[in-house]
Chains A and B, each alone.
Chain A
């Protein structure tokens, strides 16, 4: 438990943090833009890893394997979207159903519960054996996705998705097919999540069906930490591109905090507990702050002093 060992693990934590940050961009799309709590991501993150590892180990070029992972994520999101819009299943439940189904599908894809890539044999895009270049590549992928999202949500279709998330009644009155917009957004979101999953599998050198467990909470943690930090640094001047950037920054901060906690020799099994606590705290702080500013108890006390 020396300081050196903490410093040593930092670059690797940054790389993993960026990958979680990319996943969190997908979560941001549904959670913040579409206003849809999508739990599919726990499954689609692992799907991305499974598809990429299986393809890479059969000799498919890495970029093609990653594109395939993205497409697998699109399909997963599509299923959730159709469960919700065509069959009328509530949002959280349709995500849970997809997530459960994906667990079996992922085992089927992998032919087992986990699978190594075979380090050194392939030209991986990120790998923990080469941390510095991995950070650069992961950061470039993040920048590309942020740029594409920035463009897309400025288009007519992207604006329609934002309107759908903001006010469905108004959107319908303006001729927006809100069911279609939800399906598109869910598909894109899970595509991004699966792409991140394919990167995580490459970085770790193996994949596991349990890889995505808690991904939604990690994504929320990144989104919320990013928002709090962005607000603290820039106050009101937080444009869309800055907010997206800080989602990734949130992912990095989150994972470095996790790294610090495990450096403190907290057993790894306890990490999920800490994640849940962190998210609970960050979700609660804005609410409690707001309440502290306008509380009945204080108003009552002011009333008594009249």
Chain B
């Protein structure tokens, strides 16, 4: 279970660039919850995911993973609980290292890294099998440098790295935004498969309302650093894009202007 309790974050406090990015966010995820997150630009979606990942300390509030208070843990110490995929395909992998070496790095997430082999022959065989499942032909290129892969291949690999050691939570921040529609669909399908296979508790940020509705069992909408909508279960299944737009107007009390139209259909 993941509990986010009343977290606040203000960037550049006391300067003219002061920005309240999170304004009291409360969220509880049950094991296996797959939440899609939508909201306009600057709503605080990435900031919420970064707060959970520990990119910087929050100003107020607490984050608990299976009852463990991780609020005071730095990013690399928290990493053992979390799998992450970023918007930029370059961010999630080490470009000058081989595909198998990247997977081996991820397989050791949260473990002490001393003088055991960085990768073993039997591991390599496992990785070959896992890559075969992705169906991108990567199993033939185990020792190729990751820098030679396409954006879609890198995102699929990053997904595999994020889940190779079952994380307590999978954080996906617009991980298909930089991909062409066809590749994006494929990476999303892989996401669904991995999440279902390992029953992963997941948060997925997206600007695509159709995707947000089609994936996961729960949907939250953010605005101005707050969660303004939380839809789950049967209601989520019946949800349409028109419903969402209505609800947005209802809750935020404002018209759905061009500004928010970035929530594309």
Whether A166 pairs with B75 at a CB distance below 8 angstroms is: no
Whether B113 pairs with A157 at a CB distance below 8 angstroms is: yes
A174 CB contacts on chain B under 8 angstroms = 79, 105-106, 108-109, 161
Q: Considering the chains assembled together, what is the distance between the CA atoms of A235 and B104 in angstroms?
A: 27
A160 CB contacts on chain B under 8 angstroms = 105, 113
Q: Separation in Å of the A32 CB from the closest CB of chain B?
A: 10
Within 8 A of A (CB), among B115-161: 115-119, 161
Known contacts: A155-B115, A172-B76. The answer to whether A163 contacts B105 by CB under 8 A is: yes
Whether A175 pairs with B76 at a CB distance below 8 angstroms is: yes
A162 CB contacts on chain B under 8 angstroms = 94, 96-97
Q: Considering the chains assembled together, what is the distance between the CA atoms of A157 and B80 in angstroms?
A: 17
Q: Separation in Å of the B184 CB from the closest CB of chain A?
A: 21
B-contact bits for A167-210, CB 8 A (1 contact / 0 none): 10111111111100000000000000000000000000000000
Q: Considering the chains assembled together, what is the distance between the CA atoms of A162 and B106 in angstroms?
A: 14
Interface size class of A (residues with CB under 8 A): 20 to 34
Q: Separation in Å of the B181 CB from the closest CB of chain A?
A: 26
Whether B108 pairs with A156 at a CB distance below 8 angstroms is: yes
Chain A interface mostly helix, strand, loop or mixed? helix
B105 CB contacts on chain A under 8 angstroms = 159-160, 163, 171, 174, 176
Contacting B93 at CB < 8 Å: which of A152, A157, A167? Answer: A167
Whether B96 pairs with A159 at a CB distance below 8 angstroms is: no
Whether A175 pairs with B110 at a CB distance below 8 angstroms is: yes
Contacting B118 at CB < 8 Å: which of A154, A171, A176? Answer: A154
Known contacts: A156-B113, A159-B105, A160-B105. The answer to whether A177 contacts B76 by CB under 8 A is: yes
Q: Considering the chains assembled together, what is the distance between the CA atoms of A53 and B142 in angstroms?
A: 49
Q: Considering the chains assembled together, what is the distance between the CA atoms of A154 and B75 in angstroms?
A: 25
Q: Separation in Å of the A17 CB from the closest CB of chain B?
A: 28
* A11: interface (CB < 8 Å): no
Q: Considering the chains assembled together, what is the distance between the CA atoms of A175 and B111 in angstroms?
A: 8
Q: Considering the chains assembled together, what is the distance between the CA atoms of A172 and B109 in angstroms?
A: 10
* A214: interface (CB < 8 Å): no
A166 CB contacts on chain B under 8 angstroms = 94-97
A163 CB contacts on chain B under 8 angstroms = 94, 97, 105
Q: Considering the chains assembled together, what is the distance between the CA atoms of A153 and B105 in angstroms?
A: 13
Q: Separation in Å of the A290 CB from the closest CB of chain B?
A: 16
Residue of A154, A155, A160, A163 most packed against chain B (CB within 10 A): A163
A-contact bits for B76-110, CB 8 A (1 contact / 0 none): 11011010101000111111110001001110111
A171 CB contacts on chain B under 8 angstroms = 76, 94, 105
Whether A167 pairs with B91 at a CB distance below 8 angstroms is: yes
A158 CB contacts on chain B under 8 angstroms = 118
Known contacts: A154-B117, A160-B105. The answer to whether A173 contacts B95 by CB under 8 A is: no
Q: Considering the chains assembled together, what is the distance between the CA atoms of A157 and B75 in angstroms?
A: 19
Q: Considering the chains assembled together, what is the distance between the CA atoms of A251 and B104 in angstroms?
A: 34
Q: Considering the chains assembled together, what is the distance between the CA atoms of A169 and B115 in angstroms?
A: 23
Q: Considering the chains assembled together, what is the distance between the CA atoms of A154 and B84 in angstroms?
A: 25
Whether B77 pairs with A175 at a CB distance below 8 angstroms is: yes
Known contacts: A155-B118, A160-B105, A176-B113. The answer to whether A167 contacts B79 by CB under 8 A is: no
B119 CB contacts on chain A under 8 angstroms = 154, 159
Within 8 A of A (CB), among B195-231: none
* B68: interface (CB < 8 Å): no
Q: Separation in Å of the B202 CB from the closest CB of chain A?
A: 16
Whether B104 pairs with A159 at a CB distance below 8 angstroms is: yes
Known contacts: A172-B76, A175-B79, A178-B76. The answer to whether A157 contacts B97 by CB under 8 A is: no
Q: Considering the chains assembled together, what is the distance between the CA atoms of A254 and B97 in angstroms?
A: 29
Q: Considering the chains assembled together, what is the distance between the CA atoms of A269 and B9 in angstroms?
A: 59
Whether A175 pairs with B80 at a CB distance below 8 angstroms is: yes
Known contacts: A162-B94, A163-B97. The answer to whether A175 contacts B114 by CB under 8 A is: no
Q: Considering the chains assembled together, what is the distance between the CA atoms of A178 and B79 in angstroms?
A: 13
Residue of A153, A162, A170, A173 most packed against chain B (CB within 10 A): A173
8 A-B pairs with C-beta separation under 8 A: A156-B118, A157-B113, A162-B97, A166-B97, A167-B93, A171-B94, A173-B82, A175-B76
- Given A159-B97, A175-B77; 6 other pairs, CB 8 A cutoff: A154-B118, A159-B118, A160-B113, A166-B95, A169-B91, A175-B108
Interface set of B (CB-CB < 8 Å, partner A):
53, 75-77, 79-80, 82, 84, 86, 90-97, 101, 104-106, 108-111, 113-119, 161
Q: Which 4 A-B pairs have the closest CB atoms?
A: A175-B79, A159-B118, A156-B113, A166-B94
Interface set of A (CB-CB < 8 Å, partner B):
152-160, 162-163, 166-167, 169-178
